[in-house]
Amino acid sequence: MLRIRILAAALVAIGSQAAWASEASAMLKCANIADNTLRLACFDKVVGAQLPTLAEPIETEAQAKSVDVEKTVKAKLENSDAPIVFAPSAKDLAQLEEVGLDGSITDSYSPLSMAWDLDRNNEAGTFSVREHHALSLMPLWYNSKRNDTPQSPTREAAQASTDGDKNVEARMQISFKSKLAEDLFSSRADLWFGYTQVSHWQVYNQGNSAPFRNTDYEPELILTQPVKMDLPWGGKLRMVGTGLVHQSNGRTEPLSRSWNRAYVMAGMEWGKLTVVPRAWLRLDSDSKDDNPDIDDYMGYGDLYASYQLNNKQSLAGLFRLNPATGKGAVQLDYTFPIKDKLKGYVRYFDGYGMNLLDYNHYNRSIGFGIKLTDWHSL
């Protein structure tokens, strides 16, 4: 009987050593992955597969003080600054394959997936505050041509604010979204509420108490559906969606501007390039409303694109065009890291519709500011 017990103990020890050796080998392969977040994702998979599941865990003092590796990795992935992974290199892909993973693991950490929960639901759940567009402050925003007397076909020219407006002003943007419902229609479809507020502030017009020249308010409902479809040149269609959006500046006549739209959108990725086109239809068109010709200047859709450079720098652009009138706008952003989630950015705007009050006013603007959000947000 004693020999049997000794043999059983030896077999258990050998099995444990083999398991730990296998895990250690997989860990070493993960450690050789160059991309930081992809390496963490690899560890997450390996450790999650190796940790035993206890039916009734007993907490001891030592366990209470020990580090939960799996939770630590997950917390790092969810709380780190912009945990975004793009297409893995050939070397990283080879390391992933050696631990039984493939390049599809990167899908869960792409910009679109992280922003819209395309591959897994965020642990924050529903009714939590999430990033939408950028939370930003631009203390220096230069306008080449001020719109001192805005007008529209149905609203006479009126002075927008006060005398003494400056070409240089400040621009502030507040934006967030919250998931209202998830996994709708027996699928991964999610319903979101988003809100964005953009203010142009004549902060340098101290002679007239630094008035706000214009503020636009934009609530919207968004329904997203994750999809996975291959596109030409190695791209992937990651999502489709539809939305209802109201935008207004909250002013009284003759400076009131507003419109309502329904839109459809798609999200696509080619490695470090993210592209989101939208097409919309105006819902409240009326020949007597505040801005009956807004489509002539804002068009019937827009195209957002962003490209990740090295060291968390990025380039992004927003493009609009009405082919019939030839009017539209180009907006270009260069974003760079400062510290943690604080980022600096430079923006250039050329065209119509910098804000609702200026929807039919052509302007060129450039400015510098900071963002408290991920690199891929406008």
Report the CATH number at residue 185.
Answer: 2.40.230.10
> Binning pLDDT at 50, 70 and 90, where does residue 32 land?
confident
Q: Which of 109, 124, 154 is the last residue of a domain?
A: 109
Whether residues 64 and 143 fall in one domain: no
User: 332: buried, middle or exposed (CB in 10 Å: 19+, 13-18, 0-12)?
Assistant: middle
Tokens of 185: 């229609």
Name the least confident of 75-79, 136-140, 175-179, 307-311: 75-79
Whether residues 87 and 164 fall in one domain: no
Whether residues 78 and 182 fall in one domain: no
User: Considering the domain boundaries, does residue 237 fall inside one?
Assistant: yes
pLDDT for res 374:
62
User: Considering the domain boundaries, does residue 345 fall inside one?
Assistant: yes
User: Considering the domain boundaries, does residue 124 fall inside one?
Assistant: no
Whether residues 257 and 303 fall in one domain: yes
Name the least confident of 6-15, 115-124, 188-197, 328-337: 6-15
Query: Which is catalytic among the residues 108, 161, 246, 285?
Result: 246
Does 133 qualify as catalytic in the annotation? no
Q: What are the angstrom distances between the C-alpha of 33 and each of 21, 37, 257, 328?
A: 19, 9, 53, 44
pLDDT at 312 over 50: yes
pLDDT at 227 over 90: yes
Percent of the chain, pLDDT > 70?
A: 71
Strand partners for 62: none
User: Considering the domain boundaries, does residue 130 fall inside one?
Assistant: no
Whether residues 282 and 175 fall in one domain: yes
User: Considering the domain boundaries, does residue 126 fall inside one?
Assistant: no
Whether residues 178 and 245 fall in one domain: yes
b (16+ CB within 10 A) / e for 9-35: eeeeeeeeeeeeeeeeebbebbeebeb
Q: What are the angstrom distances between the C-alpha of 235 and each of 117, 206, 232?
A: 19, 51, 6
Whether residues 141 and 74 fall in one domain: no
Number of compact structural domains in the chain = 2
In whole angstroms, give the CA distance from residue 119 to residue 126.
Answer: 16
User: Considering the domain boundaries, does residue 267 fall inside one?
Assistant: yes
Whether residues 186 and 61 fall in one domain: no
Q: If you search the block for the tokens 């030839």, which residue do you land on?
A: 326
Whether residues 54 and 179 fall in one domain: no
Whether residues 49 and 190 fall in one domain: no
pLDDT for res 6:
59
Mean pLDDT of 83-99: 53
Round the average pLDDT of the chain to a whole number and report it: 82
Q: If you search the block for the tokens 């793009």, which residue do you land on?
A: 86
Does 248 qualify as catalytic in the annotation? yes
User: Considering the domain boundaries, does residue 121 fall inside one?
Assistant: no
Query: Which is catalytic among the residues 248, 256, 306, 365?
Result: 248
Whether residues 67 and 170 fall in one domain: no
- What range defines the domain where residue 170 resides? 136-372
Q: Which of 90, 109, 128 is the last residue of a domain?
A: 109
Contacts of residue 265, defined as CB under 8 A and 6 or more positions apart, other chains included, come to 240, 241, 242, 243, 276, 277, 278, 279
Name the pTM for this structure: 0.77
User: Considering the domain boundaries, does residue 129 fall inside one?
Assistant: no
Which among 116-120, 243-247, 284-288 has the top mean pLDDT?
A: 243-247
